[in-house]
Amino acid sequence: MLAAILGVLTNIFSKIKYLYGVADADRSEITTDSYLAQIMAVDGAAADFDDNTDSLEAIRDRIDALIGTPAADVSADIAALETPNNKALSLGNMRGQLGLNEWFFNIANAAVPNTAIWAVTEDNDAEVKAFIQVADSYMQIKAGTVATNDAIISTKDLMTWSVLKDNGNIASLHLKTKFRVIDLTGEAGFGFTTQSSDGAADVWDVLNFHVASVHIDNDTVNLCSSDGVATEKTDAHTPTWIDTDNTWYTVEIVITTTDVKFYIDEILRATHTTRVPSHSHMAAASAKNTNGITANIDAQYIQVWTE
């Protein structure tokens, strides 16, 4: 019995000793096409194995040469990844108040705005609809042909904002749009207005609403802010910031607890500090039939976010 056991152990030893002993130069002790030989060489012939190129260490060294040493370079790559800023977090709805990122070329031609987001007013033959083109796709907000007819889009109650809400450490509230008015003698405008306002074009420069807005009327263009008591205005037409019919302009309005800033084509043009709105706001854009003009305002996109 003992002899049989020793025989088995000797046989096992004779088969595995080459795993820990000094290998033969031609590795002839490893049977061709054995499991180990197939791991070592593509053709299952262990004699083809070259430890200078085929060993795990040699393979690792070649990989390191291509991508760098993991311990140092991977952690450096991770550290170099860009951290999302507050604008990105807000537009991704990952801060205290919902973000709005409405690009109107993403809908069908002649479609109305998303009614889950926008309340739409169309007096008589006024129209609010999308124009999807190869270039300059936009939402058109066009007043009716009868005096005082309105065309309005305004965000619904779910989409309201305030810098006074401290959730998410909000310091500023932003609205940005790319817009044009076909005829600056008509009345139109856009911006933030009091949640209870109807968002009509003639509210954009009045004192009894909390607004931060751009108001166009009779060849005047004013940057407006109101605290519900009085309105502060900056002329944007005379200095030719916004002075040309049928021309696209990019405007960003920024509200904080102490001021309102107006950027036109990425340049800061006005800072209002005396009349700062402090209210829950909705975003809106509108046109009104005033001065006998069937006004319309077009918007390629409207974004609202907090920082």
Backbone angles phi, psi at 53, to 5 degrees: -125, -25
Confidence tier at 48 by pLDDT (50, 70, 90):
confident
Given a cut of 60, whether residue 269 has pLDDT beyond it is yes
Q: List Cα–Cα distances, 104 to 110, 172, 211, in angstroms.
A: 11, 25, 24
Confidence tier at 206 by pLDDT (50, 70, 90):
confident
Rg of the chain, C-alpha, whole Å: 35
Q: For 169-203, what is each residue's pLDDT tens digit?
A: 678 999 999 999 999 999 999 999 987 778 898 89
Sheet strands (E) in the chain: 100-103, 118-122, 127-131, 138-142, 150-155, 173-181, 187-194, 212-217, 220-226, 231-235, 249-255, 260-264, 267-272, 281-288, 296-306
Given a cut of 70, whether residue 125 has pLDDT beyond it is yes
Confidence tier at 133 by pLDDT (50, 70, 90):
confident
DSSP bridge partners of 216: 188, 221
d(CA 269, CA 227): 20
Question: Positive or negative, the Cα torsion across 237, 244, 223, 128?
Answer: positive
Q: For 16-46, what is each residue's pLDDT tens digit?
A: 665 655 666 666 667 777 766 667 677 767 6
- Predicted local confidence at residue 47, as pLDDT: 73
- Predicted local confidence at residue 49, as pLDDT: 72
**What does the DSSP 8-state code read for residue 48?**
G
For 45, residues 6+ apart whose C-beta sits below 8 A from its C-beta are: 32, 33, 37
Q: Residue 29, CB half-sphere, CA atoms under 13 Å: how many?
A: 13
pTM over 0.75: no
DSSP bridge partners of 65: none
**What does the DSSP 8-state code read for residue 242?**
S
Asked if 294 and 186 count as a contact pair (C-beta separation under 8 A), the reply is yes
Domain limits, the chain: 2-80, 86-306
d(CA 172, CA 257): 8
Look at 132 and 1; give whichever has higher pLDDT: 132
For 227, the token pair is: 């605290």
Most confident of 4-13, 110-119, 257-266: 257-266
Given a cut of 80, whether residue 249 has pLDDT beyond it is yes
- Predicted local confidence at residue 187, as pLDDT: 95
Confidence tier at 236 by pLDDT (50, 70, 90):
very high
CATH number, span 86-306: 2.60.120.200
d(CA 107, CA 71): 48
Count of positions (residues) in the chain: 307
Question: Positive or negative, the Cα torsion across 190, 196, 198, 202?
Answer: negative
Q: In 21-154, which ranges are continuous DSSP H helix? A: 35-40, 51-54, 56-67, 75-80, 86-91
Given a cut of 80, whether residue 7 has pLDDT beyond it is no
